Amino acid sequence: MKGIGKYIVEHKKSIISIYILLIVLSIIGSFFVEVNYDLSTYLPKDENSIRGKELLEKEFGISGMAYVLIKDKDIHHVDGIVRDLEAIKGIDKLIWLGSGEDIFKPEEFMDERIKAEFTRENSHLLQVLFTDSNDAEETINAIDRINEYLEDSGIIGGPASTSYDLQKITSREILYYSVIAFLIIFIVLFVSMKSFIEPILFFISIGVAIILNKGTNLIFSSVSFNTNSVANIIQLAVSMDYSIFLIHRYMEEKKLYNSNDKAMIAAIGKTFNSILSSSLTTVGGFLALTAMKYSIGKDIGLVLAKGVLLSLISVVTLLPILVLAADKWIERYQHKIYLPSFEKASKFIIKFRYVFLILAILVVVPSILAQSQVEYYYGNEKILPEDFKSNAANAEIDRLFSNKNQITIVIPKEDSLKEFELLKKLEKVEGVIRTNGLYSMVDIEMSEEFLPAEVIENYQSEHYSLINIGLSLPMEGEEVGETLKSIKSVLANEYDEWYITGESAIYSELAEITSKDFTNITIISIVVIGIIIMLAFKSIIIPIILVAVIQLGIWINLSIPYMQGISLNFISFIIIGAIQLGATVDYAILFTSRFLENSRSLSQKEAAIKTIKDTGRPILTSALILFTGTLSVYMITSMRNTAELTLLIGRGAIISFVLVLVLLPPLLMISSKLINKTTLGASKETNN
């Protein structure tokens, strides 16, 4: 690595020029990265609900959808509104009372079933079908124009409206909480470093890596809004340590060399392996997410793993140049370190080490049981605050029309009597409050040639028939899951080919897939990171001890929502284990490395006390960076899923920090003989 360090030091201008070019290209590229708000696209394509969704678009032209509620307007006024809305670019058509009835005949002569679908309490419901998906730019622009047109005369809800609010709030809030997070992390670095200048240099080097990561996301077809909302903060928080490692070693090497360049070359050579090991555990945790069958794990894992690797490259190549250029300013603007020294804390922790060990043992089983009982949710509408426009509109539409939970069935176009009988059977399923198909709207004995073409187009294509079903059930959960099973059973008895889609159907299949993903990710992340630690320490027992300590922290972290009686977004629940393990096992690695080093010349007790004093500050700094950076997002964001994930990450960092300092020392001390026997070269070097 000295050769690489020498090359970096001798080619400062060339490296800076390359970075400037890459930054410009990345900034341009970031504008073309598509952010995906449709979580159903990450489901396997062969899932029944996804195939049904694709058929709706292909056969019926149904893609994005919203509902408009018009109050206190007569039917002819509503007819004018419908015509105006249909002229908006991005809107395919509107389905309303006038789609199935002659609005010029008296209401008392209209079909009561059709009226009940679209009118209630002097309110008219309009179903808006868009030419593109709920999340497409053209759909979002169309909703903008609908809102401008309606003003106070109506409200808009439905999936496209929810996506609209998600996109608007995400794009607005990312800038706010990113700035706040950067400021708070800067304060943490200020109190933990000796110079005012060092945090500035850290932010420049990691900031460049963040810009490169965002720009290179162009290699993916899209990035989920979950990833996009937290990737910058997580990348900053988990990779700041690399900068601290390098500059600390540089300051030490300056005392040994008469040239700053030579000191930096030595610093790069001596810190690269430790930085690489640290980054590999983090990357390993993130890459474990790619094993999820629900492919949003691949989305999150690849983006964050790429970000950590880019941070590593930036720290090794760009930061040394910045430090050398600002060396005199670093020396000039010094201040004292404000973090505690752990002088007294180290003796207290070791004195009561067995108390801490017993406490840890006592919380293991309750934590495992509690975290296994945490409830989680899937719906996008739960991500947004209840008072947001889309949620408020959905609540009012659901109150009037019981319209919130709708699923759609697609079946082959066969005998009309068979379809009519199917509608009757579906109506008897518990939880179903209405069924809408062609033969619930018109008389089955009426010849199709006498039916309005618009009515037929809404329910039949060349090859398939469409049935809408309204459920009086929540969007997700066991109750709606049982109803969906009953509906599927009815369909399977009548048809060889059938599809059932809609939010509840998609959430149900998500639940089946992600329940397995959680177990798989936990096992894979433990194995991958355990192997990395095993290779780093050349030990069998050390990775078991270190992973066990952090895994306990994960269980404690996930048990807190259960004790609070709150549910978590399913993505947060699945990925937090891999993120916390990958990001905070470094604390345990640093502590163990220094403990083994101190054990060569000191007794076990003295080595433990000295190790806490040696590593307390750097581990606390790392934990505080992760905690404060994510906490700032939690405090600001309106999106529930983002708030939950960042709170879990930040809280997990503090829990891991505490466990490493109070639980790891007695475990290492008790296991010292076993470590000697199972660690290559340790038996001759450690002091019992």
What does the pLDDT average to over 65-69? 92
CA–CA separation, 533 and 515 (whole Å): 28
CA–CA separation, 123 and 121 (whole Å): 5
Coil vs helix vs strand at 54: helix
- Chain segment 560-585, per-residue pLDDT in tens: 999 999 999 888 888 898 889 988 99
Average per-residue pLDDT in the chain? 88
Coil vs helix vs strand at 248: helix
- Tell me the pTM: 0.84
Q: Which residue has the tokens 């030579």?
A: 262
Q: Is the per-residue pLDDT at 688 higher than 60?
A: no
Q: Which residue has the tokens 């829990």?
A: 655
Q: What is the pLDDT of residue 446?
A: 59
Task: Decide: 243 and 319 in contact? Cβ < 8 Å.
Answer: yes
Distances (CA, A) of 570 to 286, 367, 376, 391, 513: 17, 19, 5, 20, 11
Task: Decide: 206 and 312 in contact? Cβ < 8 Å.
Answer: no
Among residues 279, 301, 83, 310, the alpha carbon closest in space to that of 208 is found at 310
Task: Decide: 582 and 390 in contact? Cβ < 8 Å.
Answer: no
Q: Is the per-residue pLDDT at 347 higher than 90?
A: yes
Mean pLDDT is lowest, of 2-6, 182-186, 552-556, for: 2-6
Q: What is the pLDDT of residue 210?
A: 95
Under the banding of pLDDT at 50, 70 and 90, the label for residue 435 is confident
What does the pLDDT average to over 417-423? 88
Buried-exposed string 645-656: b where 16+ CB fall within 10 A, e elsewhere? bbbbbbbbbbbb
Mean pLDDT is lowest, of 299-313, 447-461, 652-666, for: 447-461
Among residues 338, 167, 321, the alpha carbon closest in space to that of 247 is found at 321
- Chain segment 236-282, per-residue pLDDT in tens: 888 888 888 888 888 888 888 889 999 999 988 888 887 888 889 89
Task: Decide: 174 and 229 in contact? Cβ < 8 Å.
Answer: yes
Q: How many CB atoms lie within 10 A of CB 61?
A: 14
Among residues 456, 461, 477, 459, the alpha carbon closest in space to that of 469 is found at 459
Residues in the chain: 688
Q: What is the pLDDT of residue 74?
A: 87
Q: Is the per-residue pLDDT at 652 higher than 90?
A: yes
Under the banding of pLDDT at 50, 70 and 90, the label for residue 366 is very high
Q: What is the pLDDT of residue 278?
A: 82
What does the pLDDT average to over 287-291? 91
Burial class (CB in 10 A: 0-12, 13-18, 19+), 272: buried
162 versus 682: which is more confidently predicted?
A: 162
Q: Is the per-residue pLDDT at 284 higher than 50?
A: yes
* Ranges assigned E (strand) in 348-428: 376-377, 406-412
Q: Which helix (H) or strand (E) is 341 found in, with range?
A: none
Among residues 305, 242, 241, 317, the alpha carbon closest in space to that of 622 is found at 241
Q: What is the pLDDT of residue 371?
A: 93
The first and second tokens of residue 25, run together, are 């290209």
Q: How many CB atoms lie within 10 A of CB 307?
A: 28
The first and second tokens of residue 95, run together, are 């389905």
Coil vs helix vs strand at 35: strand
Task: Decide: 115 and 51 in contact? Cβ < 8 Å.
Answer: no
What does the pLDDT average to over 324-350? 89
CA 129, 133, 139 angle in degrees (round to 5)? 70
What does the pLDDT average to over 157-180? 86
Q: In the chain, what percentage of residues exceed pLDDT 90?
A: 43
Q: In the chain, what percentage of residues exceed pLDDT 70?
A: 96
Q: Is the per-residue pLDDT at 685 higher than 50?
A: no
What does the pLDDT average to over 548-559? 96
Under the banding of pLDDT at 50, 70 and 90, the label for residue 445 is low
Under the banding of pLDDT at 50, 70 and 90, the label for residue 452 is low
